[in-house]
Structure 1
C-alpha cells in the first residue's frame, strides 16, 4: 500500500515538469533554460509599459484641466484635437520602443544562443 501512495505523490510532484516537457515537444524549445537576460528584458518591457501608462494619465489630467478652463467651443475643439494628435504620436513612439525591446529580448544573442550562419 505504501508504494501506491508514493507513486501518486511522485506523479503529482512531476506534473509541472511533465507539462513543461509537453511544451518542449510541441516546439517551445528549452523553456527551463531561459536566460536571466531574457527575464530582465521582460521586466524592462513591463516597466516601460507602466511608465507609458503613467505619462498618458498625466496627459489626460492636463487635458481635462484645459477643457474645464476653456472659454468657447472652438478652444475646446482645439484642445481635443491636440490631445488626440499627441496621443497618436505617443502611442506610435511607444509601439516602436516596445517592438525594438522585444526584438532584442527574443534575439538569439540575447538568450545566450549564437546565430546560425
Structure 2
C-alpha cells in the first residue's frame, strides 16, 4: 500500500485544484449574471439611445476588466496546483548523500 502514496498525494492535489478552479468559475459566472441583470434593468429604464449607449459602454468596459481579472485568478490557481503537485513528489537524492 506504500506504493500508492505518491499517486494519492498528486491525485489529491489535482482534485483540490479542480475544486478550487470550479468554485472560482461558479463564483465568477454568478457575479457576471448579477451584473447582466443589473445592466438589463438599467437599459430598460433608459429613455434615449444615448443612455442605452452609455449603459452598454459601461457594461462592456466592466466585463472586459472582470474577464481579464478572472483569467489572472485562474492562472494563479493553475500555478498553485502545479506547485502543489511538485511538492508531493519525493525529493531527489543528491550525488553526495549515498553512503560509502
Per the shorter chain, which TM-score range?
Answer: 0.7 to 0.9
Deviations 1:73-113 (A, max 9, x none): 11100000000000000000000000010011012xx1212
Structure 1 segments of 4 or more deviating over 4 A?
A: none
| Residue equivalent to 1:56 | 32
Which structure shows the bigger proportion of residues in helix conformation? 1
Q: Residue 53 of structure 2 corresponds to which residue in structure 1?
A: 77
What residue ranges of structure 1 are gaps of 5+ in the alignment? 1-30
Q: Which moved more, 1:95-104 or 1:38-47?
A: 38-47
Q: Which residue of 2 aligns with 1:106?
A: 82
Change over 3 Å in CA distance of 1:103–1:114 after alignment to 2? farther
User: Does 2:20 match 1:44?
Assistant: yes
User: In the aligned structure 2, how far is the partner of 1:69 from the partner of 1:81?
Assistant: 16
The answer to whether residue 42 in structure 2 is matched with residue 66 in structure 1 is: yes
Query: Which protein is bigger by CA-based radius of gyration?
Result: 1
